[in-house]
Amino acid sequence: MFPKKPLTKGSHIRVLSPSSSIHRLGGFEANLAAKERLEALGFHLSFSSHYLVPADALDSVPIADRVADLHEAFADESVDAILATIGGSNANELLPYLDYALIAQNPKILCGYSDTTALLNAIYAKTGLVTIMGPSYSSFKMVEGQPYQTASWLAATSLASYDLTPSPEWSSDAWYDPSLPRQFFPTTWKVYAHGRASGTAIGGNLSTFGLLRGTPYAPQPDRYVLFLEEAESDDYIEFNRHLAAILQAYPDPQAVLIGRFPKECQMTEETLLYILDKHPVLKTIPVLYDLDFAHTQPLFSLRIGAQVTVDTSNLSIRFD
């Protein structure tokens, strides 16, 4: 099931915080550049009722407040799309308390990345609604790389077919602090194993996606393509453990697409290939790595729950 409306100029976007609060990012005023950029694209923004509630010791607000904000956004007929503020570490706390019938009756665009992985996959699993892994509200503060990031997001939210393409260049620096220098490198998507395959896109942040294993919120499509990436807090040792666990829970992927690792993971290409070599299934299906999603910048937008076709012969990734 696709959202009822595509994102177009004049659409109303509700910004809310399913995990970390805006206070983690310095507060509302410190992030006005994101609001201004989205408004310059032609969108109307509003913020959830509990948006400015003071953050707790985990940089979040009470579960009940976050659940209420999501329900309010889905129930409000004037809201066309929902955008998460940022990731965090506890979006999975919300899953038992969500009204999935309400969400299914009001299908609309929901977008975020990182910890929002839990919400995106759970809502797809419980309702069939296609969700979008892409930039968060705070991501629109970024200047360098923003044209690529915005173009991919607009393509995904158009609800038409579109192709993922490599960014011109990428960075693993603190994009959210313009006072710090940034270093960019040419983008090269890489092939571990060749092939062509189609399936339903699931996954996202690997450690967060793993939290859904064994719960009613883990998606179970018949044929699936795994999108997997790690955040700055999980190094190559954690990736090794998390990948093994996911391939035990999802042993028959049609393809595996791996996001580029942030520098904090200390992942080298030699180490990554060593880890991939451990798993025989990865030699029999298309596997790409160093792709533009999640914790390096800029990032492309992908649809969780939608059909995707991967062809390594021309590095093609197409959502239908």
Q: Out of 11, 19, 295, 301, which one is annotated catalytic?
A: 295
Could you confirm whether 229 is annotated as catalytic?
Answer: yes
CB-CB contact of 60 with 22 (8 Å)? no
d(CA 278, CA 106): 43
Cis before 298 (ω within 30): yes
Q: What is the distance between the alpha carbons of residues 25 and 258, in angstroms, rounded to a whole number?
A: 27
Q: Which of 229, 230, 242, 301 is catalytic?
A: 229
Annotation says 72 is catalytic: no
Residue 276: exposure state from Cβ atoms within 10 A (0-12, 13-18, ≥19): middle
Query: Which one from 19, 21, 60, 114 is the annotated catalytic residue?
Result: 114
Q: Is 138 a catalytic residue?
A: no
Rounded to 5°, angle at Cα 21 from 20 and 23: 130
User: How, if at all, do strands 190-193 and 302-304 pair?
Assistant: unpaired
Residue 304 phi/psi, 5° resolution?
-75, 125
Catalytic sites, residue numbers: 114, 229, 295
